[in-house]
Amino acid sequence: MTPSLALPRVGLGGGPLGNYLQPISDAQAQAVIDTAWAAGIRYFDTAPFYGLGLAEQRLGRALRARPRSAYLLSTKVGRLVKPGSNGSREASIFAVPDDHHVEWDFTRDGVLRSVSDSLDRLGLDRIDILLIHDPDRHWPQALDEAYPALADLRAEGVVRAIGVGMNQSRMLVDFVKHADPDVLLAADQCTLLRRSAFEELLPLCQERAIPVIAAGLLHRGQLTSHPPDAPADVQRIAAACQDHNVPLTAAALQFPLQHPAVHSILVGAHEPAQITTNLAALDHPVPDALWHAL
């Protein structure tokens, strides 16, 4: 990754802007982005899949009035948003009308179409970081067709950096070994609850100077509170945090940053107050003794 693309410590994850798990209004989405900007966040991540294009539309609308050189923007390829319903339940995690669907496409033409569609939805002139999104069941095509297309876009200056974003470590390791990514997005795998990335992925990325963006750190809210019926592992983590007078959320957000390969984390928000709360948690002092206990 070039020095001009040095990743900030924290970025705004775009899933909630696409009505992930619950609907929010356009005005509320705008307020989330405005609050993030006012708090100093200058990295924004999104994807066509998030709300079937809705997150890209909302993010682009909010960012258009801002100086384009003042922030980093990442989006993804691998799913094309198409009109009409195809009966798939894949997008049911987003509270959006059933009038569009996504189709998997890791071909060169699919990548180019996806980038063009994303730029249209965003209403912006360029994308900084382009990621192959969730190629779990499409490894050969993602490596042989999608990745070379991204590499060409990087060489042509259409995008500044390329990589892969996934919820599993094994295939991210394969991409590092067989391709030349500038950056990786690792979701749900370098967290207090799931630490698979620490075994091979993060050491490999550290060795090859590939920065990692960590996401999915709060596990759908499990690590923001710990009700009596929380899983035993959450209860143990929460008890350790309580013993050291550290909020559970603070430990959860700061944990992946303890590894030198992790350069940035993503936090999502359905409402502005969540931005303020999470940034305060990110700055809360955490003693070394807690990291040792965890």
Q: Which residues pair with 159 in a beta bridge?
A: 127
Q: How far, in Å, are 35, 186, 200, 275 from residue 270 at the CA level?
A: 12, 21, 33, 9
Residues labelled as active-site residues: 50
CB 263 within 8 A of CB 213: yes
Determine the residue type at 153.
Answer: L
Q: What's the chain's length in residues? A: 294
Contact 102, 82 (CB under 8 A): yes
Per the structure block, which two tokens stand in for 158? 């259409």
Query: What angle, 0 to 180 degrees and rounded to 10, lies between the N-to-C axes of helices 54-63 and 26-38?
Result: 50
Three-state DSSP at 88 gives coil
